[in-house]
Amino acid sequence: MKVYPWISIPIAIFLYSLGLFWGYQSLSFIQFAGLAAILIGSFFLGFNELPVSTKEKYEGILSVLGKEMPHIVLSSGWHHTTLPYPLISVIKANVQKRTTNDDITSFSKDDIEVTAKSKIVWRVKNIFVFIKQGEDDIEDALKSIMKNSIRTSIKERTARECKQSNSDLQDELQEKIDAEEKSFGIDVEKIYVEDIDVDENFKNAMREKRIREEIRDAEKISIDHMKERAKEIVIESEGRITEAEAYEIVQIERGKIPKNIQEYEIGKRLQKSLSDNIIGELIQSLKGDKK
């Protein structure tokens, strides 16, 4: 039940007037004077303001002897609690529409740094639940949900997909917020995920890194193949060619060394050490015809 100022103050005036009237009729002058002082002092101490402005709008709940009364909500303005603090007090909360912002950074599926600006617009719906949870804790919880949701969404996509799917990131965040907003006592009006930014320098660096890794992998595979081919040549020569000489032959075969074998000492060594016709033919084929 929502209690407005024009309800609580007249009721308080009526009750205190009854007390004064009873005292006037039943007590001596001194007793009445003491009672009047207590009642008048209590009356003024019972006033509580729940301010309202363009940026803030407060509502509150009553706390009777430390126990919150969830079914009585005091609207903005001046109220009277009938009995003064600490017998009855007002716990107030700002129910004005507000925004929670956060910039969230994570790495995409292709290892590129992506930053997304997110924003949640919300207002208090159940002030009792909101006060019990605590405003600061709710703010922290909303930011935590935003971070976890958006970081997960970014990790599941490439940087290009993130740039093109901010509405999908927004929908995924909305789904997680919808599951929690009731327990916070709030009503989320709008969720934004915008200004998704990709670190171009990081992107270029990662591209160069991948290229270098691919080149290293290709060279490693090539070297392994060359070693295998060199072993085959050593076996075919029946031990007349060393592994080092066979490796240089493979390099010549693959164009790593110019085919003019006479420009290398290996050519001279091979010509001296090889008398076998088969190996000789191999050397001649590697020299090629000079035209």
Tell me which residue of 201, 205, 176 sits closest to 188, measured CA to CA: 176
Check residue 64 and report its DSSP letter: E
Q: Respond yes or no on whether the N-terminal peptide bond of residue 70 is cis (omega within 30° of 0).
A: no
CB 67 within 8 A of CB 29: no
Give 96-100 contacts, CB < 8 A, sequence gap 24+: 96/55, 96/56, 96/57, 96/123, 97/121, 97/122, 97/123, 97/189, 98/122, 98/123, 100/139, 100/142, 100/143, 100/146
CB 147 within 8 A of CB 102: yes
CB 172 within 8 A of CB 153: yes
pLDDT of residue 256: 52
- Amino acid at position 59, single letter: E
The two three-digit tokens of residue 205, written as one number: 């660096």
Mapped onto helix, strand or coil, the DSSP state of residue 101 is strand
Within the chain, where are the H helices?
A: 5-26, 29-45, 127-133, 135-155, 159-164, 166-184, 200-236, 243-253, 265-273, 277-287
Q: Can you list the residues of the chain whose pLDDT is less than 50?
A: 258-266, 268-279, 289-291
Each domain of the chain, given as residue ranges in start order, spans: 2-94, 98-198, 203-287
Q: CA 111, CA 204: separation in Å to the nearest integer?
A: 11
The two three-digit tokens of residue 109, written as one number: 């599926």
Q: Name 244's Cβ contacts closer than 8 Å, sequence gap at least 6.
A: none
CB 112 within 8 A of CB 206: yes
The predicted-structure confidence for 183-207, as pLDDT tens digits, reads as follows 888 888 888 888 788 776 766 766 7
- Is CATH 3.40.50.620 the right assignment for the domain spanning 98-198? no
The two three-digit tokens of residue 247, written as one number: 């490796």
The predicted-structure confidence for 66-84, as pLDDT tens digits, reads as follows 777 767 777 777 776 766 6
Question: Residue 85: which H helix or E strand, with range?
Answer: none
Q: CA 204, CA 186: separation in Å to the nearest integer?
A: 43
